[in-house]
C-alpha cells in the first residue's frame, strides 16, 4: 500500500467492503439477474392465457425490482468500487490494469441493461397492445442482466485463483481462470432460485384478496424455484471442487470465524437444514399451494439471503492471505516486493509513513505506524477483529512478552495460513511488538487518513 491509509477502527475496513458487496449481491441476484427472466416468463405466461390479474402481478413484482435495482442496486454496485478504492487501492488499481477491457465490456452491457429496464418497465402499460414485442424486450433485459454478472464473476474468480495469468499475464488467461466457469455455474441457478423465492415473498402482498390468483402464483413460482434448485446443487459441487486445496484449508475459519472454526461441521449441518427448508417449502408450494400458510412464503427468501451472505463471506475469506491470488497479499503488499520489504523495511518504502527511522525513543510510535501500514486492512485496534483481541486469545490477558509477540509476528504465516508474512524487517517487527505490548491495555483507536491526513495525534506510547 503506497497510499494514505484510510481506516475505520471500529467497524473495520473489511466490514465496509463486505457490507456494500453483500447488499449488492442481495439486490443483484434476486432482484435483477434472477427476477428479469422470471418477470418476462410471468408476463409471457399471462399474455398467452389472456390473464389480466396475472399480468398485474408480474408488473407489480417488476415495479419493486425496478425501484430497488435502479437505486440500491446500482449505487451499491458502484459503491463496491468506491469502497475498495478506499480500503485496498493497491488491489483494485492492479485489477483495473488487468481487467480494464472486461470492466469496459461489462459497462457497455450495464448501459444496455439500464436502457432495457427503463424501456421494459416504463412501457409496460403503453405497450399493452404489443405484448409480443414487450416480452422480447424483457428477454433482452434478462440476457443483459446475466451478462453483467457473467463478466464480473470472471474477475471474482481471478481474485481467488489467477491460474496461468501469473506466468502469462495476458487478459484472456486472466478471464479464463480456473474458478470462473464453476462459480458462474453456481451463481446463475442460485440467482434464479433466489428470484423465485423473492417473488413468492412479494406474491404474499400482491395477491391479497384473490385466493385463486395466489394459489396459481404460488404453484408457478414454487415450480420455478424447484426447477433451478438441482442445477444450483450441481453448480455448488463443481465450484467446491474447483477451489484450490490451499484455499479449502481456510474453509472452517471462513464459514464461522476464527472463534467458531471448531463448529465447522455443525455449520455445514445448519446450511444443509436451510437448503432443506427451502426445498420443502417450494415442494409444498408446488404440490399443495392451498395448504401453504402465508407466513411460510416469507421464510425461504430470508433463508436465501442468509445463504447468499455466507457464500460471499466464504468467497472473500478463503482467498487469504491474498487479495489477488499469489500476486498481492491482503494488506496490499505485492508478493514480489516481500523480499525487499523484509530487507529494507515497510516504513522506508511507504511514501505516507509518518515515521521513517526507528530509534529507541520512538519504537512504539514507529510500531503503530507499521501497524497502520501492514495490518489495518484487516485488523483494528479497538473494534472488529482487533489485533489485541487476537493476541489475547493467544497469550492471555496477562502482560505479554515483547519477544514472544515479535517472534509470533515473524512466523505467524506458517501456523496460520490465512495470514500474510510480516512485510518488514526484524527491527520493524520488534517496534510493532513494542507498540502492541505498550497499547495492550488501552486499545487506543488508530485514526485513518480520512480524518487526520498525514498528521494526527501521536499514537500511544511515544512521540511521532
DSSP string, 153-192: HHHHHHHH--TTHHHH--HHHHHT-TTHHHHHHHHHHHHH
Cβ atoms of residues 459 and 382 within 8 Å: no
Q: Of residues 10, 48, 52, 118, which one binds other proteins by CB under 8 A?
A: 118
Shortest Å distance, C-beta 25 to other proteins = 15
Cβ atoms of residues 110 and 69 within 8 Å: no
Residue closer to other proteins, measured from CB, 13 or 281: 13
Taking CB under 8 A as the rule, does residue 97 contact other proteins? yes
Taking CB under 8 A as the rule, does residue 176 contact other proteins? no
Q: Of residues 15, 47, 56, 85, which one binds other proteins by CB under 8 A?
A: 85
Taking CB under 8 A as the rule, does residue 67 contact other proteins? yes
Taking CB under 8 A as the rule, does residue 2 contact other proteins? yes
Q: Of residues 245, 295, 336, 397, which one binds other proteins by CB under 8 A?
A: 336
Shortest Å distance, C-beta 368 to other proteins = 15
Q: Strands, E, within 82-161: which ranges?
A: none
Q: Of residues 56, 334, 390, 443, which one binds other proteins by CB under 8 A?
A: 334
With CB under 8 A as the rule, give the number of residues binding other proteins: 78
Taking CB under 8 A as the rule, does residue 268 contact other proteins? no
Of the candidate spans 51-59, 77-85, 201-209, 305-313, the one that interacts with other proteins by CB under 8 A turns out to be 77-85
DSSP string, 393-443: HHH-SSPPPHHHHHHHHHHHHHH-TTSPPP-S-HHHHHHHHHHHHHTTTT-
User: Which contiguous run of DSSP H or E holds residue 323?
Assistant: strand 322-324
d(CA 405, CA 218): 59
Q: Of residues 46, 289, 420, 448, which one binds other proteins by CB under 8 A?
A: 448
Shortest Å distance, C-beta 165 to other proteins = 11
Q: Of residues 10, 49, 71, 208, which one binds other proteins by CB under 8 A?
A: 71
The interface with other proteins within residues 390-409 (CB under 8 A) comprises 394-395, 401, 403-404, 407-409
Q: Of residues 273, 276, 302, 452, which one binds other proteins by CB under 8 A?
A: 452
Taking CB under 8 A as the rule, does residue 111 contact other proteins? yes
Residue closer to other proteins, measured from CB, 309 or 456: 456
Short-list 431, 18, 325, CA closest to 8: 18
Taking CB under 8 A as the rule, does residue 47 contact other proteins? no
Taking CB under 8 A as the rule, does residue 64 contact other proteins? no
Residues 6+ away with beta carbon under 8 Å from 241: 182
Cβ atoms of residues 282 and 226 within 8 Å: yes
d(CA 10, CA 244): 33
Cβ atoms of residues 456 and 18 within 8 Å: no
Shortest Å distance, C-beta 169 to other proteins = 8
Q: Which long-range contacts (CB under 8 A, 24 or more apart) does 165-169 make?
A: 165/98, 166/326, 166/327, 169/98
The interface with other proteins within residues 340-359 (CB under 8 A) comprises 340, 342-345, 349, 351-354
The interface with other proteins within residues 416-435 (CB under 8 A) comprises 425-427
Amino acid at each position: 500500500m503506497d497510499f494514505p491509509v484510510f481506516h475505520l477502527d471500529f467497524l473495520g475496513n473489511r466490514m465496509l467492503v463486505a457490507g456494500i458487496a453483500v447488499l449488492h449481491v442481495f439486490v443483484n441476484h434476486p432482484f435483477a439477474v434472477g427476477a428479469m427472466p422470471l418477470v418476462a416468463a410471468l408476463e409471457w405466461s399471462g399474455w398467452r392465457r389472456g390473464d389480466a390479474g396475472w399480468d398485474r402481478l408480474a408488473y407489480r413484482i417488476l415495479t419493486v425490482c425496478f425501484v430497488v435495482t435502479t437505486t440500491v442496486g446500482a449505487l451499491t454496485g458502484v459503491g463496491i468500487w468506491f469502497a475498495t478504492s478506499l480500503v485496498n487501492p493497491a488491489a483494485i488499481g492492479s485489477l483495473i490494469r488487468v481487467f480494464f477491457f472486461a470492466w469496459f465490456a461489462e459497462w457497455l452491457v450495464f448501459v444496455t441493461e439500464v436502457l432495457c429496464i427503463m424501456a421494459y418497465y416504463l412501457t409496460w402499460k403503453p405497450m399493452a397492445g404489443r405484448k409480443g414485442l414487450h416480452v422480447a424486450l424483457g428477454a433482452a433485459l434478462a440476457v443483459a442482466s446475466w451478462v453483467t454478472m457473467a463478466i464480473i464473476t470472471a474477475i471474482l474468480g481471478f481474485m481467488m485463483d489467477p491460474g496461468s495469468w501469473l506466468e502469462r499475464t495476458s487478459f484472456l488467461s486472466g478471464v479464463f481462470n480456473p474458478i470462473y466457469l464453476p462459480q458462474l455455474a453456481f451463481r446463475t441457478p442460485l440467482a434464479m432460485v433466489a428470484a423465485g423465492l423473492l417473488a413468492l415473498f412479494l406474491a404474499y402482498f400482491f395477491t391479497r384478496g384473490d385466493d385463486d390468483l395466489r394459489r396459481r402464483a404460488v404453484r408457478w413460482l414454487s415450480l420455478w424455484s424447484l426447477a433451478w434448485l438441482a442445477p444450483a446443487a450441481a453448480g455448488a459441487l463443481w465450484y467446491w471442487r474447483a477451489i484450490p486445496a490451499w484455499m479449502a484449508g481456510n474453509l472452517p475459519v471462513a464459514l464461522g470465524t476464527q472463534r467458531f472454526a471448531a463448529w465447522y461441521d455443525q455449520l455445514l449441518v445448519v446450511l444443509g437444514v436451510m437448503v432443506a427448508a427451502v426445498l420443502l417449502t417450494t415442494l409444498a408450494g408446488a404440490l399443495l399451494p392451498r395448504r401453504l400458510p402465508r407466513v411460510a412464503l416469507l421464510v425461504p427468501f430470508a433463508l436465501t439471503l442468509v445463504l447468499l451472505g455466507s457464500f460471499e463471506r466464504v468467497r472473500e475469506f478463503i482467498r487469504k492471505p491474498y487479495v489477488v491470488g499469489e500476486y498481492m497479499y491482503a494488506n496490499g503488499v505485492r508478493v514480489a516486493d516481500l523480499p525487499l520489504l523484509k530487507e529494507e523495511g515497510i516504513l522506508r518504502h511507504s511514501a505516507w509513513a509518518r515515521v521513517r527511522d526507528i530509534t529507541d525513543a520512538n519504537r512504539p510510535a514507529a510500531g503503530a505506524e507499521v501497524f497502520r501500514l501492514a495490518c489495518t486492512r484487516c485488523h483494528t485496534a479497538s473494534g472488529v477483529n482487533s489485533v489485541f483481541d487476537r493476541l489475547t486469545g493467544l497469550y492471555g490477558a496477562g502482560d505479554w512478552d515483547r519477544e514472544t509477540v515479535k517472534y509470533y509476528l515473524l512466523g505467524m504465516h506458517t501456523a496460520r495460513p490465512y495470514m500474510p508474512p510480516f512485510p518488514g524487517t526484524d527491527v520493524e517487527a520488534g517496534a510493532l511488538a513494542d507498540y502492541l505490548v505498550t497499547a495492550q491495555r488501552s486499545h487506543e483507536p488508530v485514526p485513518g487518513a480520512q480524518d487526520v491526513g498525514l498528521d494526527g495525534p501521536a499514537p500511544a506510547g511515544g512521540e511521532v
